[in-house]
Every structure is written in C-alpha cells, then in structure tokens.
Amino acid sequence: MGRSGELADAGRQARREQDASSAVGPDDTGCTVLHVDMDAFYASVEVREAPHLAGLPVVVAGAGGRGVVLSATYEARAFGIRSAMPAVRARRLCPRAVFVPPQFPLYTAASRTVMGIFRSVTPLVEPLSLDEAFLDVAGSLRRLRTTPLALAQDVRSAVLAAEGITASVGLARTKSMAKIASGMAKPDGVMVVPLVEELAILHALPVSALWGVGARTAEQLAAVGLRTVGELAGTELRVLQQWVGTASGSHLHALANGRDDRAVVAGTTEKSVGAEETFSVDVHDSAVLHRELLRLSERTTAGLRRRGLRARTVAVKVRYADFTTITRSRTLEAPTDVAQEVYGTARTLLDALRPLPQAVRLVGVRTEQLVRAAQVVEQLRLDEREHGWRDAERAADALRSKFGDGAVRPATLLGGRDGARRAPEPPAAPRGPRPGGR
C-alpha cells in the first residue's frame, strides 16, 4: 500500500474517533503549525486543464519506455500506481489509464499562486517543494481573531477558488507531526492532532510514518521487531543507535517520542534546480548526449530565471546501463542563469569522463549554490557587448510564456529528440552594438 495509503487509512479512523468523541470537533489549541500539501498536484493541474479527464485514472509520466510516474490521480492510485513507479508497470496495472506528459510551467505557475495564498495568511512560510509548505500561524491567529482549524479551512478554500485544485492540511504542535497529519488528511481533508492525543495518535502509526524512515530503514526496524512508532519510542536509545546508527537513532527516537523543536523558517530557498532525462534506448553517441545536455540546460536555467535565482555551481549526473551513477560538478567564477554558460560547463564535465565505460541510460544537469539574482553585483568589462545571451534567453522566456514551450528553442534542438545532429560548441554571445556605438 505504501506510506501514503497507510497514513490515509489511519487518518480516516482517527477522524472518525474524534467526530464520535466530540460534538464541537477536535481541540486545536496550540496547533499553530500547519503542513499544507496539494493533492496529486501535477495530475490535479492536468485535470483542471482538461475537465473531461475528471474521474478518470490519470497518470503524469515522462515520455518513452523508461519514463517514470510523476503524479497520479486517486482513481489511478486505486490500481496501485504510485509516484516514481516505472510508467510501463503503471500501464500494466491500469491499461485504461490516461497518460499525459508533464507541463512544468503550469505547475510552477500554480505553485506561485498557492504560495502567495499562504503568505497572505502568515509571513512564516517554509516551502518544501512546489506543492507543500509549513506555515506558522501563531501570530496570525491573534491578528485575524480566528482558530487554527478555521484558518486551515480558509486556506483550502482559497486554493480551490484560485487554482481549482484541492489541498490537505495537517495541524499540530510540531513540524513533524503536522506533516504526518496532512498525510492522514488525504485526500482533500484536514487533520488536527490535539496536544493531549498527540502521542496516542503517533504511537499507533507504522514506523514508515516518521520523517526520514524510507523503505530500507523500515525493513531494518521490522527485522528487529519494530513495526509501530510506539514500539520504536519504547526502545532504549543506545540499542536503537546500534541498529540504525548514532545520528539516525537519535533523530528517530526523538520524533517517535514527540520531540521536534525545529521552527518554521520563512524565506527558505531551494538548494538546487535541475532536470534529467532517461533515454528510451541506451546512448553511446556523444552528439546525442550533447544535445540532451543543451536541452536540460535550457530547462534548468529557465527554472532559475522564473525563480529569480542564479547558480554558482553546475553539476552533471550520468547513469550507465548497469545503473552505476556518477556526478561531477564545477563552481563558476560568477553566478549565472544563462543556458549557454551552464551548457558549456556541463559539456566540459561530461567530456572529461571520456571514454565512456559503457552506454548511458540517464543524463542530468543540476545547478547548486543558488543566490538571488537581485543580490548579484554585475562585473562589467570594457569590451562587453550591450546585449548578450541573458537578454536573448529572457526574450525567449517571454515568447514561451505567451506561445508555449515550443515557440523558441536553439536550432540544434529542432528535429527528433534523440537525433544524431551534433550539439554545438558553446557559441559567443549574440552580437550587438558596443557601448557608445549605434
């Protein structure tokens, strides 16, 4: 069933018990941390754009035989389809599912609106990804003269009205418990974790509910008889550390006992922006790899510019046919959001791996050490052209936003996706009049 299904089932039971025990609803006193999570975000946006898909099993997945599921509606999840699952397996599970390619600009635009709604409620918003965030609403409750539960319902209503998609909200005393509660609220619900019920609710859950417990850790814990959070909480710290390591043991023991003193940190920026592609057929040809690097550099830097960011470090990721994966990175002299600069660095890093030991299954480009573009001090040179690649790419951004992603692209990327036309050497900036010229 997976973590999300287990949490949702536990949440339905907990909400039924709360409804049966109180005519006025759960006590939300002190539950000032909200975790808001969009429901099947990418898939929900696709259904919004194509209303005839409503009620159908819709799967957002990468193209090609090796694409993976990025998002699925709850109708598709009923067949066992989950995010990160190979698309070919999802098709076997539900042959009648509707598969659609991702449209990332749509998701980014929806995310900006949603995050804006959050920030209209409280300045203390900590995004975790495009579709989820923590909100600290302690100050807002006094200012708006409302309750945490009423505020959570207002946020959900505002998101639905603005974007036509639903959200689930968890309310609790701590971040870790609020995140668990939002999973218990899915889909399209609210889950309050009253202070007096916190440990009872937490200890009844499977260990996979805890932040940081993946499939492998869950298997380790199950092997020593720890299947519920309560069983983990009752284990001596020293023994737990022997089983899963010192740091992980301390972290899990604290969360299992309801201890989490992390504050909601506003203005947290993304640590990296990137894109990657799994080829439908393993690739030997360097020209094809260069073309894909250019395509990924275009996508990555467009994402940087949309967010008002620049990157100091460029990294490439290569996964070979045997699934061996390596990464290489290089720090630039100055932060950039220019595709040609990112591509030039990425190509140099890739070419340094030659000769390739075997065919390539996946290639990726990632930018790191991000800074706000507004904070970058431009270093001008006497011979610098008035208009360069940044101006050209910003103009292309404007055209794409108006006419679609295919409106403007480098000539090298025209034609087949995996064609063998050779990617160019990073060219010089477009020519323009020099300062003082005409």
- The catalytic site residues sit at 132
Closest-CA residue to 137 (of 147, 128, 127): 147
37 is in an annotated binding site: yes
Per-residue burial over 17-44, b = 16 or more CB atoms within 10 Å of its CB, e = otherwise:
ebeeeeeeebebebbbbbbbbbbbbbbb
| Segment 375-383 long-range contacts (CB within 8 Å, at least 24 positions apart) | 376/310, 376/334, 376/335, 379/334, 383/434
Consecutive H or E run containing 153: helix 148-163
Element (H or E) spanning 72, and its range?
Answer: strand 69-72
How far apart CA 179 and CA 192 sit, in angstroms, is 11
169 has which bridge partners?
36, 190
Distance CA(345)–CA(194), nearest Å, equals: 52
> d(Cα 148, Cα 51) in Å, to the nearest integer?
33
Cα–Cα distance for residue pair 93/95, rounded to 1 Å: 6
Measure Cα distances from 48 to 80, 107, 110, 156 in Å.
Answer: 23, 11, 11, 16
Alpha-carbon torsion, ordered 79, 82, 88, 94, to 10 deg: 10
SS3 for 4? helix
Nearest to 264 by CA among 151, 128, 126: 126
10 Å CB burial of residue 306 (0-12, 13-18, 19+) is: middle
Q: Is residue 131 marked as binding?
A: yes
Using CA atoms of 405, 411, 416, 419 in order, give the dihedral in degrees to the nearest 10: -140
CB atoms within 10 A of CB 250: 14
Angle of the 286-307 helix axis to the 389-403 helix axis, nearest 10: 80
- Residue ranges for the known binding site for Mg(2+) are 37, 131
